[in-house]
């Protein structure tokens, strides 16, 4: 069995994973980063358009705290929100502006701010409409420039966490506190499973958008982190709070593409198929209402007008749309929409998971040796609904907190009690010998996506959720035999994680009968 040893194993290469890797490597630790494609830029962080929160003009931490709590329906974990608002601006400045040198937009040499829905003031730093790309490019460039001791492992799909209770030959494991020793990962090129052992492991695997029929997420996000955590009995919370972005591009011949909230922040307005503004009928903030309200309002308006989409009326900002939002302009043009004269057809799509693996104020999970940061975690920052542009901010700040915590633990020799037991880790057990049938996998995934969109989507009901749980359970029972009989492949592993993640979300939505934020039940 091929093994790799490292101080810290990081699974995921978005803003959270890359930042923690840089900070830990600069403290002198060996770091390994796994990501599941050959494209190191395939993450939600990379696709982020809007920006990242900083300290705006006439802004202060208390005001930002109020906005976060209001958007989250006051279900937020207040200590986490307070830690974020008190520390984040300094972290953005020291890491992204000074260390990495991200070229945020400036006006006469001064940082320029934009506004987004539910923000009291303009406080969001941006780089046109590809802020995430600018940040992720900068983080990777910094790693190369500084020649940091970070090993990159592309095309490695994490299968399962290595734990004391399930992955070692220690016969007394039931008497000890469980511990994470790394992860088993499937190497796409060799079709082999490689053991990655580490003193500490960080899950930075992003979200789960591909379990839904409509999503703004990249094509590799099937809830890998949530599924691995579930199988390792790590505590997961708030998974019913699935945020649907109100405005993704609607097209009969193109994939979903996020139309940034910043477009509305700059002055665009939602109108129905007849060209009539409608958001004031649903919320006093109109098109800048919180995301969950906007998403549902669009769906209600689509039902009223028997339409497949609504429009984003950009007439007020048409003259600057190409310069301010070049990626959106280009993508619309590729789909036959000329923004010089046309408006943008939009439809809600799954965008962000507000819940996740429960972590403390340093990013540590309920499993010793395991941290989770970014979208795959639940710090409690978002409550029942995420405030715009807090996602990159949370990933960055908790990467800093987690890195500091791991550094402290290693220096305090907290891992020493587990070193001897790390020699008892078992080899991965290959079970399947049959070639998998791609038609079956494709059909199962399509079926799952439709279940989640129709029954566990933006608008839920008792009957829909009951049907979802029944259908997902039946699918899982059928798939389990298929999984153990088939040879490993990335498609098989993605479907496995998708089914597990869907079950987690549907179960959480069924149990919570209180309609709040982006968990909306009509009964």
Using CA atoms, how far apart are residues 238 and 380, in angstroms rounded to an integer? 9
Please check whether residue 372 is in contact with residue 324, taking contact to mean a CB–CB distance below 8 angstroms.
Answer: no
Burial 278-289 (b: 16+ CB within 10 A, else e): bbeebeeebbbb
Please check whether residue 518 is in contact with residue 245, taking contact to mean a CB–CB distance below 8 angstroms.
Answer: no
The sign of the torsion formed by the CA atoms of 463, 469, 472, 478 equals negative
Please check whether residue 51 is in contact with residue 125, taking contact to mean a CB–CB distance below 8 angstroms.
Answer: yes
Using CA atoms, how far apart are residues 384 and 289, in angstroms rounded to an integer? 15
- Let me know how long the chain is: 523
Q: Which residues contact 518 (CB under 8 A, 6 or more apart)?
A: 241, 242, 243, 244, 291, 292, 295, 354, 384, 385, 458
Please check whether residue 162 is in contact with residue 180, taking contact to mean a CB–CB distance below 8 angstroms.
Answer: yes
- The tokens for 295 are 């998403």
Please check whether residue 401 is in contact with residue 409, taking contact to mean a CB–CB distance below 8 angstroms.
Answer: no
Query: Could you count the other beta carbons within 10 Å of the beta carbon of residue 91?
Result: 18
- The tokens for 176 are 């000890």
SS3 breakdown of the chain: % helix, strand, coil, rounded to 5? 40, 20, 40
* Residue 176 annotated in active site: no
| Catalytic one of 42, 123, 264, 291 | 291
Using CA atoms, how far apart are residues 81 and 61, in angstroms rounded to an integer? 10
Q: Which residues are catalytic?
A: 291
């Amino acid at each position: 069995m091929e093994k790799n040893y490292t101080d810290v194993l990081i699974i995921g290469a978005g803003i959270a994973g890359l930042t923690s890797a840089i900070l830990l490597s600069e403290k002198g630790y060996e770091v390994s980063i796994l990501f599941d494609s050959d494209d190191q830029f395939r993450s939600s962080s990379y696709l982020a358009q809007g920006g990242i929160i900083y300290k705006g003009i006439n802004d202060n931490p208390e005001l930002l705290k109020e906005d976060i709590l209001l958007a989250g329906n006051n279900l937020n974990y207040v200590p986490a929100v307070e830690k974020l608002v008190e520390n984040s601006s300094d972290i953005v400045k020291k890491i992204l502006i000074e260390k990495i040198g991200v070229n945020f937009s400036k006006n006469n040499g001064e940082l320029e701010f934009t506004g987004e829905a539910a923000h009291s003031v303009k406080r969001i730093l941006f780089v046109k409409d590809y802020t995430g790309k600018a940040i992720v490019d900068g983080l990777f460039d910094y790693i190369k420039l500084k020649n940091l001791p970070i090993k990159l492992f592309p095309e490695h799909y994490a299968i399962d966490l290595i734990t004391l209770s399930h992955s070692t030959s220690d016969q007394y494991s039931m008497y000890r506190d469980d511990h994470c020793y790394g992860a088993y990962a499937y190497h796409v090129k060799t079709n082999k499973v490689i053991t990655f052992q580490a003193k500490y492991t960080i899950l930075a695997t992003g979200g789960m958008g591909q379990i839904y029929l409509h999503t703004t997420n990249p094509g590799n996000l099937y809830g890998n982190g949530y599924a691995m955590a579930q199988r390792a009995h790590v505590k997961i919370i708030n998974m019913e709070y699935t945020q649907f972005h109100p405005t993704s591009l609607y097209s009969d011949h193109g994939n979903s593409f996020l139309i940034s909230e910043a477009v509305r922040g700059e002055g665009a307005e939602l109108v129905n198929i007849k060209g009539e503004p409608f958001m004031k009928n649903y919320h006093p903030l109109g098109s800048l209402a919180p995301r969950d309200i906007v998403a549902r309002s669009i769906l209600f308006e689509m039902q009223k007008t028997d339409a497949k989409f609504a429009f984003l009326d950009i007439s007020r900002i048409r003259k600057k749309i190409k310069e301010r939002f070049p990626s959106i302009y280009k993508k619309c043009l590729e789909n036959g929409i000329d923004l010089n004269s046309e408006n943008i057809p939009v439809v809600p799509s799954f965008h962000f998971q507000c819940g996740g693996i429960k972590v403390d104020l340093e990013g540590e999970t309920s499993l010793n040796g395991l941290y989770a940061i970014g979208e795959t975690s639940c710090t409690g920052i978002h409550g029942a609904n995420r405030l715009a542009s807090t996602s990159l901010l949370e990933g960055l700040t908790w990467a800093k907190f987690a890195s500091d915590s791991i550094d402290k633990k290693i220096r305090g020799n907290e891992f020493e009690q587990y070193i001897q037991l790390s020699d008892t880790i078992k080899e991965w057990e290959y079970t399947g010998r049959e070639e998998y049938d791609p038609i079956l996998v494709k059909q199962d995934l399509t079926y799952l996506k439709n279940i989640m969109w129709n029954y566990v989507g933006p608008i839920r009901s008792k009957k829909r959720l009951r049907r979802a749980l029944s259908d997902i359970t039946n699918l899982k029972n059928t798939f389990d035999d298929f999984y153990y009989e088939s040879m490993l492949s990335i498609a098989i592993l993605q479907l496995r994680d998708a089914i597990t993640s869907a079950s987690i979300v549907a179960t959480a939505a069924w149990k919570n009968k209180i309609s709040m934020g982006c968990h909306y039940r009509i009964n």
